[in-house]
């Protein structure tokens, strides 16, 4: 029965609304944890996980580390593929996404470094690097669960407004809004912020068997509105995931400020049904 309900629950777009950032992070982490455990990964059966960077997923990573250290979760048979990396930033630079992932996540868990894939923004041939990344994903059997975050302008990874919704991993010039948003990580100095990046495409993420997008904070509220209440639009690339059969948007109350009241009530009503059946905050407590 639980398995049947889980199958039914994820064949529609879901919006999971938690009271605050910490609870949203915990819900996302427990969902990832449960999906890995349910998959029963092993030496000949790796779970493949797509991962984001930025401030939003930090709480989720912190919780996943806790689950690993408590003995509830292993990443020994997990392969990860990160969404993006800056071009021209040294790998050991504190703001490179290599540094971000190792400092905030990978070095705290038992993942094999050979199984943690991050694009090389200093590759001699950047297009060849992007093509090789797509090939590695395919050779791994595709992504089981792709976790993403978005920018205030609704971009996912570095698929800026206007990006093709069938795009693949490629070199992208960053929009000024993105550069301004990232300046806080470079002492507020715009001249230090990279202007180009390597990024998976919208199509790359759409190919994943399941997608979970984290959206928190009032500054993301209009993007969430565009993502779920209006139609698919290449100027708001996150809206493409309306068409994915297994998308979960995980947000806090602040991110719902631009949504219609009836939209929030509808999805909260669905949450009550899901919570009684298979959602992480309940299933882990019950030992399911």
The pLDDT-based confidence of 275 (bands split at 50, 70, 90) is low
In angstroms, the Cα distances linking 149 to 156, 216, 281 are 6, 9, 21
The pLDDT-based confidence of 195 (bands split at 50, 70, 90) is very high
Concerning whether 22 is annotated as a catalytic residue, the answer is: no
The pLDDT-based confidence of 285 (bands split at 50, 70, 90) is very low
What CA–CA distance (Å, rounded) separates 121 from 107?
A: 21
Q: 11 or 127: whose pLDDT is higher?
A: 127
pLDDT of residue 278: 53
Give the CATH fold of the 27-277 domain.
Answer: Rossmann fold (3.40.50)
Q: Which two tokens stand for residue 104?
A: 């905030």
Query: C-alpha angle 117/120/126, rounded to 5°?
Result: 125
| 58-69 vs 21-39: helix crossing angle, rounded to 10 | 50
Contact 24, 58 (CB under 8 A): no
Give strand ranges (E) for the chain: 14-18, 47-51, 78-82, 84-86, 116-117, 145-149, 170-173, 196-199, 211-215, 247-252
pLDDT of residue 271: 78
Q: Among the options 26, 129, 153, 279, which is catalytic?
A: 153
pLDDT tens digits, residue range 23-77?
A: 999 999 999 999 999 999 999 999 999 999 999 999 999 999 999 999 999 999 9
- Give the mean model confidence (pLDDT) for residues 205-216: 98
- Give the mean model confidence (pLDDT) for residues 95-112: 98
Q: Among the options 98, 155, 244, 274, which is catalytic?
A: 155
pLDDT of residue 2: 44
What CA–CA distance (Å, rounded) separates 130 from 159?
A: 14
Q: Among the options 26, 68, 84, 207, which is catalytic?
A: 84
The pLDDT-based confidence of 264 (bands split at 50, 70, 90) is confident
pLDDT of residue 84: 97
Question: Mean pLDDT score of the chain, rounded to an integer?
Answer: 91
The share of the chain scoring above pLDDT 90, in percent, equals 81
Contact 57, 26 (CB under 8 A): no
Contact 234, 162 (CB under 8 A): yes
What CA–CA distance (Å, rounded) separates 218 from 216?
A: 7
pLDDT of residue 213: 98
pLDDT of residue 40: 97
Q: What residue spans define the domains of the chain?
A: 27-277
Q: Is the pLDDT of residue 281 over 90?
A: no
DSSP H helix total and E strand total for the chain: 10, 10
Of 163, 128, 148, residue with least CA distance to 54: 148
The pLDDT-based confidence of 269 (bands split at 50, 70, 90) is confident
pLDDT of residue 4: 42
pLDDT tens digits, residue range 125-174?
A: 999 999 999 999 999 999 999 999 999 999 999 999 999 999 999 999 99
pLDDT of residue 181: 84
Concerning whether 153 is annotated as a catalytic residue, the answer is: yes
pLDDT of residue 266: 78
Q: Among the options 134, 144, 160, 279, which is catalytic?
A: 160
- Give the mean model confidence (pLDDT) for residues 226-249: 95
């Amino acid at each position: 029965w639980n398995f049947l309900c889980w199958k039914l629950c994820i064949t529609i777009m879901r919006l999971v609304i938690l009271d605050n950032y910490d609870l949203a992070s915990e819900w996302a982490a427990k969902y990832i944890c449960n999906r890995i455990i349910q998959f029963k990964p092993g030496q000949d059966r790796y779970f493949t996980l797509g991962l984001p960077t930025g401030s939003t997923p930090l709480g989720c990573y912190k919780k996943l580390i806790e689950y690993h250290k408590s003995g509830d979760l292993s990443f020994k048979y997990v392969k990860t593929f990160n969404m993006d990396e800056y071009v021209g930033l040294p790998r050991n630079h504190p703001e490179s996404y290599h540094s971000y992932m190792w400092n905030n996540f990978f070095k705290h868990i038992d993942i094999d470094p050979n199984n943690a894939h991050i694009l090389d923004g200093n590759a001699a041939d950047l297009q060849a690097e992007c093509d090789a990344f797509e090939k590695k994903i395919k050779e791994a059997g595709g992504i089981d669960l792709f976790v993403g975050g978005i920018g205030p302008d609704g971009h996912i990874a570095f698929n800026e407004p206007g990006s093709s919704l069938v795009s693949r991993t490629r070199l992208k010039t960053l929009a000024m809004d993105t550069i301004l948003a990232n300046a806080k990580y470079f002492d507020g100095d715009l001249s230090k912020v990279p202007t180009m990046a390597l990024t998976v495409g919208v199509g790359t993420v759409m190919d994943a068997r399941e997608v979970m997008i984290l959206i928190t904070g009032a500054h993301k509220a209009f993007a969430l509105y565009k993502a779920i209440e209006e139609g698919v639009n290449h100027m708001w690339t996150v809206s493409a995931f309306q068409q994915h059969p297994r998308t979960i948007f995980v947000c806090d109350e602040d991110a719902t400020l631009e949504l219609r009241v009836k939209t929030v009530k509808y999805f909260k009503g669905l949450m009550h049904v899901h919570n009684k059946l298979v959602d992480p905050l309940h299933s882990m407590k019950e030992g399911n």
